[in-house]
Structure 1
Amino acid sequence: MTHSDITTSTTTTPGTVLVLGGTGKTGRRVVALLRERGVEVRAASRSGDTPFDWGDPATWGPALSGVSAVYVVGPEGSPSPTPGFVELAVATGVRRLVLLSARGTGTPGYLTDAVGAPHRESEAAVRSSGVVWTILRPGWFAQNFSEGVFLDGVRAGELSLPTGDGSAAFVDADDIAAVAVAALVEDGHDGEVYELSGPRALSVAEMLDEIAKAAGVRAAYVPVTPSAYRAGLEAQGVPAEEAAVWTEAMDPILTSREAPLTDGVRRALGRPPRDMADFARDAAAAGAWA
């Protein structure tokens, strides 16, 4: 380890931390890690302990009452409600914001407007908030294979996606949560934009190989065209607009724009990101593909 790999952040003592999306992929991990540190946490979601609905601003104020820091996971769709929420949060005394954004948000043409616009609006709101802020830009989550949109295909033994031979440096949600917690409870992350990736780029077929080695579950990757994928989603009852967004979101994998490795995990935590072999081993042990 070189000197530049060593974090110099010092732990601060936050008050109550509000975690939006507290039952989601990253949110529930952030909640768990904060509680391990003895931090008072308020897990907010439509179905969580603290009621919170992006579509119902009347739920925002009660969730923010007495909160000093917020992990912000905004909704899809533009215009984003995040700017209004950030304004209210600062007005009620929040002094620290950690935003979950997305890889490519700062790169013109990386994301389509439908995908990128709400992230850009959210980032602008956090940057101009006047309080301590940190932005996380993770790429595609490894957990999409174990608890997300790809899980059913893996379990069924066939995963059809419009990603061709493209690859992505899939990032473990455990790493995203660890970076978020560091930014929420430590000094030294103010104004940082952490681009988060895993330590190596893999195609979807190679990810399925890692899962097969760890879990003994072999799923075949079946490449399909974007139009066929979109039509398949619509045939399953997915609304046309949502099917289009999902299809467009696959393009950075298809074109390998998600492949380059980034240093956000190391800069924030002083260690390399978790490898996909470790992700697959732990997910298999937890029964993800049983």
Structure 2
Amino acid sequence: MRILVTGGTGFIGKALVRRLLARGDQVTVLSRRPESLKTIFGAAVEAWGRLSAWTTDRSFDAVINLAGEPIIDRPWTAARKQALRDSRIGITNQLITAMANAAQKPAVFLSGSAIGIYGDTGSVDITEQAPAGDDFGARLCAEWEQAALPAEVLGVRVCLLRTGLVLHADGGMLKKMRRPFKLGLGSRLGNGRQYMSWIHRHDYVEALLFLLHHPECKGAFNLTAPTPVDNRAFTDALAQSLHRRAFLATPQSLLKPILGERSLLLFGGQKVLPERLLSEGLCFRFTELANALAHANDD
């Protein structure tokens, strides 16, 4: 397949691009640092620094949009919120315009989103039928998804990737957590009852490939493992995987003044189930958190 990937140098994108290359796909990666792509992937990847490189005579079988600045790393000032919108909604709008101008449209558009669209939903089972929340993160995801849907008018199949906490040792949340846990400083967050809906990076990439090749799949999909756990259980499992124990707890009252609105990302939660992926027949390799953590370095 001829595939255009945005966000291809990120923690998830790198694993996806390598998987696509390994199976023989022709991959083009749009990156703000196109000069870095040969170092990361070698000469097999076509590097684009601007989407204007997509001229009307170029065609792709699929577009996979994983672009988006990290949401928790910096305070949510007005300027930062706009940057988060631009990095998600802005690039999605540009992709829609490029598709509209292309003489041959892609068959499928896999476009990023996140389970944050549901807001803080406590311990209720959440499937793709659940409504969107009303906090900033939820509204951001909802706008992101709405920006992708005009591709359907162009005859392009759209899959919305409602992504959970993607686990792998070389990036994302897990990489940040492992160091303090190795030092015996791991702690649960607040009362630890907030649910964490996770997925191993291997299964995430496999889910994307599954969606690429199943034309009956369209609409929103929860990309999470079938067995979400609460923060207390996650904390214990991570500590055990590193042969440590976690006795500490970080109270919400300590972090909320520092994080502000962002505290919802740590102290809120969603018990999200991948109902649609399971019903379509996707088999997860990692369904239990302990096993996923034991294989945190696997691709």
Q: 1:87 aligns with which of 85, 94, 97?
A: 97
Q: Aligned ranges for residues 15-54 of structure 1 at < 5 Å?
A: 16-47=2-33, 48-49=36-37, 50-52=47-49
Measured against aligned partners, the alpha-carbon deviations of 1:197-252 in whole angstroms (never above 9, x if no partner) come to 22323233322332333332444442321x521445xxxxxxxxxx4353222243
Measured against aligned partners, the alpha-carbon deviations of 1:40-83 in whole angstroms (never above 9, x if no partner) come to 1223333442244xxxxxx1222675433211124252362022
Mean alpha-carbon deviation: is it higher for 215-224 or for 195-204?
215-224
Per the alignment, residue 85 of structure 2 pairs with 78
Measured against aligned partners, the alpha-carbon deviations of 1:96-121 in whole angstroms (never above 9, x if no partner) come to 210121115265563512x1233222
Q: Aligned ranges for residues 130-279 of structure 1 at < 5 Å?
A: 130=154, 131-143=156-168, 144-147=172-175, 149-160=176-187, 162-166=189-193, 167-189=195-217, 191-225=218-252, 227-232=253-258, 243-253=259-269, 258-272=270-284, 274=286, 275-279=288-292
Per the alignment, residue 139 of structure 2 pairs with 117
Q: 1:68 aligns with which of 30, 43, 61?
A: 61
SS of structure 2 residue aligned to 1:171: strand
Amino acid across the alignment from 2:291: D
How far apart, in 2, do the equivalents of 1:266 and 1:23 lie?
A: 29
Distance 1:111 1:74, change over 3 A: farther
1:69, 1:184 within 8 Å by CA — same for their partners in 2? yes
Per the alignment, residue 283 of structure 1 pairs with 296
How far apart, in 2, do the equivalents of 1:221 and 1:262 lie?
A: 31
How far apart, in 1, do the equivalents of 2:206 and 2:249 lie?
A: 33
Distance 1:202 1:141, change over 3 A: same
Per the alignment, residue 8 of structure 1 pairs with none
Measured against aligned partners, the alpha-carbon deviations of 1:2-43 in whole angstroms (never above 9, x if no partner) come to xxxxxxxxxxxx3x2112111223212221222232111223
- Cα RMSD of the aligned pairs, angstroms, is 2.9
How far apart, in 2, do the equivalents of 1:224 and 1:61 lie?
A: 48
Percent identity of paired positions between Structure 1 and Structure 2: 17
Distance 1:41 1:221, change over 3 A: farther
How far apart, in 2, do the equivalents of 1:224 and 1:112 lie?
A: 21
Gaps of 5+ in 1: 1-13, 53-58, 233-242
When the two structures are superposed, what TM-score results if normalisation uses the length of structure 1? 0.72
Distance 1:268 1:111, change over 3 A: farther
How far apart, in 2, do the equivalents of 1:251 and 1:193 lie?
A: 25
Distance 1:285 1:138, change over 3 A: closer
Aligned residues: 248
SS of structure 1 residue aligned to 2:160: strand
Distance 1:163 1:39, change over 3 A: farther
Per the alignment, residue 105 of structure 1 pairs with 117
Distance 1:40 1:268, change over 3 A: farther
1:208, 1:220 within 8 Å by CA — same for their partners in 2? no
SS of structure 1 residue aligned to 2:68: coil
Q: 1:260: how far off?
A: 4.4
Per the alignment, residue 11 of structure 1 pairs with none
How far apart, in 1, do the equivalents of 2:297 and 2:116 lie?
A: 30
How far apart, in 2, do the equivalents of 1:42 and 1:219 lie?
A: 44
How far apart, in 2, do the equivalents of 1:108 and 1:251 lie?
A: 20
1:70, 1:97 within 8 Å by CA — same for their partners in 2? yes
